Amino acid sequence: MNKLLQKIQSKNCYIIAEIGMNHDGSFGNAIRLIEEATKSGVDAVKFQMHISEAETLADAPTPPYFTIEKRYEYFNRTSFTYLEWEKLRDFTHSLGLDFIVSPFSQKAAEILTKLKIDGFKIASGETTNLPLLEYIDKQQIPVLLSTGMSNWDEIDQAVNALKNNLCMIFQCSSEYPCQPESVGINVIQEMKKRYPGIPIGFSDHTLSSSSAIAALYSGATIFEKHFTLSKKMYGADARFSFEPHEMKSFIDEIRFIEKVLINPVDKNNLEKYKQMKLVFEKSIVASKNLPKGKILEISDLDFKKPGNGIRADKYHEIIGKKLKCDINHNEQILYSFLE
């Protein structure tokens, strides 16, 4: 079993900050993003490696959010040197996080293999790129598979191509930001049935934490969220990414629900409420002064705090009993008072 999979399986929830290209080509921004992700409490950071000439034609259609520069030029402008990638990897490891990168070409995968990254993340657009998947599967590096654009046949094909090193599969929807109607929490249970033994994750493109909590309840154990220093930063992903304070809240909520789900409550073992029951529950008391020899009727009884006497739900046990002594109004009726 690979080290990343061991780590994932040892945790109830494994959380990845998807930095992607939100550094905008700035090495300093990349370092700062790793630092802020660490403070938020993530387990890993993820970057993207784009090499324009290896992954796209210069005249390929450009997404609508590239309005100032062409995507081909953007990838060239924002790329890091090999030495910078080494420094990012080492800095990430020094903070105790895993270093995961998405390759978008075999050339990128070759570089990342040489870098000995902790894991490959297959982006949704690469799920049908079988030559890339087959190359990556030979590298003995854990693989995280995204499925946002893929149908079941395409996912099955990718899973088969990655049979040696597949580490986890993500449900995600390739919408940015993702609307609630497209989240697809139902897919998580289907994935668990379809791919037994493979951890299922949720790559969250919504603008809140609610979907991730639902995904956790449905069985997801790995979570990915886009991360930025500011939504106002330039780039394709910053506007729908979480800022540091949002990521911290997101992780706090996930960790809270994680504890909820792994700690079942035994309703027959509530010893910790023993003192509270004495304070808040009701005992049986006399509704008026009652003389010795009185045969108790319901009208003779009242039910008041504290709960250290005969509990109110036991009233039927004393109806019809004869008193051995006088009892004052509001005095607790005890079993020792009864014949």
Query: Span 243-267, mean pLDDT?
Result: 92
Give the pairing type, strands 98-103 and 119-122: parallel
Cα-Cα-Cα-Cα dihedral sign, residues 112, 114, 115, 118: positive
Q: 74, 20, 76, 22: which is closest to 47 by C-alpha? A: 20
pLDDT at 197 over 80: yes
Query: Span 240-260, mean pLDDT?
Result: 91
Query: Span 144-153, mean pLDDT?
Result: 93
- What does the pLDDT look like over 300-317, one tens digit per residue? 999 999 999 999 999 999
Peptide bond into 199 cis (omega under 30): no
Percent of the chain with pLDDT over 90: 74
pLDDT score, position 4: 86
pLDDT score, position 67: 67
pLDDT at 176 over 80: no
Query: Span 186-207, mean pLDDT?
Result: 90
**Residue 260: in which H helix or E strand, if any?**
helix 244-262
Amino acid type, 254: I
| Local structure of 20: helix, strand or coil | strand
Confidence of residue 188 (pLDDT cuts 50, 70, 90): very high
pLDDT score, position 173: 81
Q: What is the pTM of this model?
A: 0.85
Cβ(220)–Cβ(202) below 8 Å: yes
pLDDT at 208 over 70: yes
| Local structure of 59: helix, strand or coil | coil
pLDDT score, position 294: 96
pLDDT score, position 65: 67
- What distances in angstroms separate CA 29 from CA 112, 229, 284, one per listed residue? 20, 8, 69
pLDDT score, position 66: 65
Cβ(136)–Cβ(120) below 8 Å: yes
Q: How far apart are CA 185 and CA 218, in angstroms?
A: 7
pLDDT score, position 60: 83
pLDDT at 326 over 70: yes
Confidence of residue 182 (pLDDT cuts 50, 70, 90): low
Mean pLDDT of the residues in the chain: 92
Q: How far apart are CA 148 and CA 316, in angstroms?
A: 62
- What does the pLDDT look like over 44-64, one tens digit per residue? 999 999 999 999 998 887 776
